[in-house]
Structure 1
Amino acid sequence: MTHPTVSRAVRNIGRISAVIGLVAAALAVTANDAEARRTGHPRTQAIDMVVIHSTGGPTCDAVTGKPVWVKAGTLAENMKRIEADPKLGIHYMIDRDGTVRASVPEDQVANHVFHYSGQSIAIELINDGDGLDPFPKAQLTSLVKLLRDIKQRRGITRDGIKRHSDLDHARLSCDRTQRRKVDPGAAFPYRSVLDRVFQPQPTKTSNGVSGK
């Protein structure tokens, strides 16, 4: 027979282990939230749109005043740049390898597109946005998964998933022949992504077999 003192000790160890597990889980969530380091403004409009961006694109050089094309950069570089600028914001960024990073919470406004930020969720893709830089399979797979999740939670329609270039038609101040926002660019398989997002997904039947 086990001594009562030993039994109590075992039970206490079990309780301590459970508490440690809960604390660890809480810390993991806190770490993920803290990683974003950003908050936005409270929303006053319902979310009915997702806007897809690329990190690269045309701009006017601050020194020469001439048009230049900014390359994609890394996920870390772009997150640092965007989160350091109170005038900019995103909700998600997806790296070439499919890594997804969250920034401003969905229920808050991130400033990412003129006139539509209040009603939309922003997703940035690490890409030059020049129509030549390919979008890797892993990146597109993560994008489709994220879009499906947002669609299910927010009731987003197919027409509600936009490219940045669909919404901003302004021209560069240093070159009126060049549009300011052309992202995510011609290399982005827009129609294919939408087809995958809105393709009916198999469901599990009561016996665990997938069905339609």
Structure 2
Amino acid sequence: MLSDERHSPRPADCSMCAIYTCPRFIALALCVATLLADPTHARKSGPPRTEPITMIVLHSTGGPTCNVKTNKPIWVSAGTMEENLRVIEAHPKLGIHYMIDRDGTLRASVPESQVAHHVLTYSGRSIAIELINDGDGRDPFPEAQLASLIHLLRDIKTRRGISRDGVKRHSDLDRAMMPCDKTQRRKVDPGAAFPFSAVLDRVFLSN
């Protein structure tokens, strides 16, 4: 889940959402190149970057939050890609660069040339990738989703010169506790079910 995300009703429609869809596994490099060359496909939110990109941050769409009515911790489930894009595109501050569905479908929002506010402190020099997943350590990440992520990570690594240490989980960077329960971390995504080391091996060690 994105930093400072609030549990709120989802908009009824997504007429303001401008996103570019990359068909599953088809010409991923061409797809990303199209987005970079023609950002009219993407939502223009976030200021232009003033820092070099040195990091990629992995998120899951599901995760813990505080119920605004009861001030008790609740778990928000993954939701669908369309639902999550509606929320993010309608939010006045939050943003992402890419989202990957369970079947491997990749969609892009904020251009890489712009800052997407997705993690405290590090947004200015990072790229945000959201994975559709509950983030609870029990929801598995399908191979199709992981394969699409690996293709995207390889592409960004090549273009931006990102090192293995530059790929982070949201939980690596935001270690604060929930305001409604000081015994629980507020950001745990993408969760214990995400095969982090194996994914990095496939990105940085495989040909």
TM-score by length of 2: 0.80
Alpha carbon RMSD of aligned pairs, Å? 1.4
Moved segments of 4+, more than 4 Å: 32-35
Q: What is the correspondence of 1:24-173 to structure 2 with a 5 Å cutoff?
A: 33=39, 36-173=42-179
What 5-or-longer segments of structure 1 have no aligned partner?
1-28, 202-212
Structure with bigger gyration radius: 1
Give identity over the alignment, percent: 70
Relative to its length, the structure with more helix (as a share) is 1
Task: Check whether the contact 2:61–2:77 (CA below 8 A) recurs between aligned residues.
Answer: yes
**Could you list the per-position Cα deviations for residues 117-154 of structure 1 after superposition, in whole angstroms to 9, with x for gaps in the alignment?**
00000000000000000000000000000000000000
2-structure distance, mates of 1:126, 1:111: 18
Matched residue, 2:182: 176
* Greater RCO, CA 8 A, separation 6+: 2
How many equivalent pairs are there? 172
Q: CA deviation at 1:33?
A: 4.9
The alpha-carbon deviation at position 85 of structure 1 amounts to: 0.5
Distance of aligned partners of 1:82 and 1:94 in 2 relative to their CA distance in 1, 3 Å threshold: same
Distance (whole Å) between structure 2 residues aligned to residue 72 and residue 38 of structure 1: 25
Q: In structure 2, which of residues 179, 193, 196 is the aligned counterpart of residue 190 of structure 1?
A: 196
- Segments of structure 2 that go 5 or more residues without pairing to the other structure are 1-33
The alignment partner of 2:65 has SS state of: strand
The two structures have a TM-score, normalised by structure 1, of 0.78
